[in-house]
Chains A and B, each alone.
Chain A
Amino acid sequence: MTSELTENILLHVEKNGETNSLDLMNVFNEDHQKIIGAIKSLQTLDNSRSRCIFAVPENGILQAEIMNSVPYAKVGLSKALVAGWIKLDKSSGKPMVIRNVSTIEDTTQKNLKNFDNLTDNIKADYKKRKLLQEIIVKSVIVKKGPNFATKIEKLETELTSDLLINGAWKEQKFKKYNFDALGSSTDTGHLHPLLKVRAEFRNIFLEMGFEEMPTNNFVESSFWNFDALFQPQQHPARDAHDTFFISDPKYSTKFPQDYLAKVKQVHSKGGYGSEGYRYDWKIEEAQKNLLRTHTTAVSARMLYQLMQKGEFKPVKYFSIDRVFRNETLDATHLAEFHQIEGVVADYNLTLGDLIGTLYEFFKKLGIDKLEFKPAYNPYTEPSMEIFCFHEGLGKWIEIGNSGVFRPEMILPMGLPEKVNALAWGLSLERPTMIKYGLNNIRDLVGPKVDLQMVYNNPICRLEKVNNKK
């Protein structure tokens, strides 16, 4: 029957020219799949293996040439070689394809014309060669439902202004709304998650009466970044492998000379009750420009400027801005990150005041279990590392560093002797990663940020304890 159909198709094409398989379905009153099957079997007449043998002339042909001139030559050639129809002659150096038989019997072609009787093995082989294709046809069974009617009533999809005006909405039946799906997404803008957390931190400081410091100076001199903080010139942090030094503009020269002399004195000879570090302080080291390694450099400038105004008044300062470390990037380290810093300066402040302030600060972040551990910073004495109990991780983790600025740092600025300056700092990235459960800092900051994560990011309420973990 298949062969009859294919012949009929051919006759039809001969008489009427080009035609569509769907049209043929009507012409012959046959199933579409059968028509397709018949066409496919016609296609196999254009079999690659047969093409190959016929493409081989009596005297043979170069293998390279046949590869270029015949479609599917690669498959056809290898199959024809297996069947023994042709042979390869490599004697001349360039492989020649030579006919082995004068006529062929193409079993493939025969089998395809009659594929109902094929074994599974051969079918599988043909499928692999893309000569046969398996198609799944899904059918639907139609029967009467509870609301069956022969006349179709049209349901309204939405309430329209017309329906409201002519009152038709009262009689009209509406299509059911699928509540088991998400609505259409709103076209909206988004703030960056890290900067949402920054906004929360800024609010906390503002609620606590802190004034924001101007930190818009990424390039800083070693003098303000290190020397002014009583950080000695041989300190490891001043090594090139920790700090980005600047080649252009390489040096700073505009220092307040009086203050510079006092800093030099306290480093090399001591003063203000201190023995100093007793080393040869060099102006050349102080002049080197760098990308600030902490915003404490700005705090130093602010305290210095405060005294330039003539008299001391109590202050509470904060800042949140970028700082830079010469690090190799990995999942938890970036070469630039945001430092949060708070400073309080007044007469007779105590270590208890620092601890109390830190409790108030972290309470606003939803953290009320704190512990303090002695630590060392060149510019604070005493220094305390701040730990909090992380409910999710079930352990104490370090969240920040704090201390009281050394007298050798603040007295040369001209602050009165009874004044103490409390300070603490933490990174913005670390609490954010903990808050949002992120493992890789690069998903959050930098160009490789996952925008979908930014789109989906919720409102940031730091004081709200995250119950997800």
Chain B
Amino acid sequence: MSFVEYSDFIQDGDVAIIYLGHDSLMPVKVQQGAQTQTRYGVIRHSTDLIGQRYGSKVTCSKGGWVHVLHPTPELWTVSLPHRTQILYTTDIATITMMLELKPGSVVCESGTGSGSLSHAILRTIAPTGHLHTVEFHQQRAEKVAEEFKEHRVDHLVTVRNQDVCQDGFGVSGVADAVFLDIPCPWDAVRHAKTAMKRQGGRVCSFSPCIEQVQRTCEALADQGFEEISTVEVLLRVHDVRTVSLPLPDFGPDPSAQTEPDAAEKTGPVQTSVSLKTTTPPREIPGHTGYLTFATKPRT
């Protein structure tokens, strides 16, 4: 397995995603002789995982079973260990398209955080692109670099432990796209410009607060960025349900009584109607962040 290439069978050293049930996933580093505890019992890697096909059903010691899934950036996003607030798939999808990422793209990102977006970028730009990611928190930078290695995508990424607002991205004139998820993106706009190709490219900044957006837009305009646009994308999940609506009893219908035969034919009175529909979850995320996009023109 690798996060950028599918394989059919689980091997020693892979990262597999255990699907325990609705919205309950768990990443597992597959190791000969290792065991993983789940709420359905223990999974023995040597017999239960290694050599099995991805997507198989695995029976745990307590008799319950789980599915073992091939890792993807999307599954990783909902199961990864949080070291920071992370970006979720809805925003990631929008960012990927609006930054025009594709195989071969060279991308700069800061901060790396927990690597949720990084994995999605790497998947999209493989096999010929490269990601330069900057994280000023040393421990986080080290941890994420370790993960890239485990996920066999380290050949596509360079992690730099520095402050992007002061030191920039560590590259210049190479990037097709830049992504900023930092508290003061306006301080990094000029570094973004430096990192980007002379021929131009796309930039995106993610900020939770509108004041941050204001300052970023000003900085982008000052630096000559064009096509500045701010959007917000919200995900709505629809829970599929079969609901039953009771029918009120209006009492005997006098008009129907005139024809007793017809009343008999209708048989027992229906008391409810069931239908397949969806309901919104009780609570949904109402805001993640504003996404500001811009184009760097040719310089």
Asked whether A and B interact, the reply is no
**Chain A residues proximal to chain B, CB less than 8 Å:** none
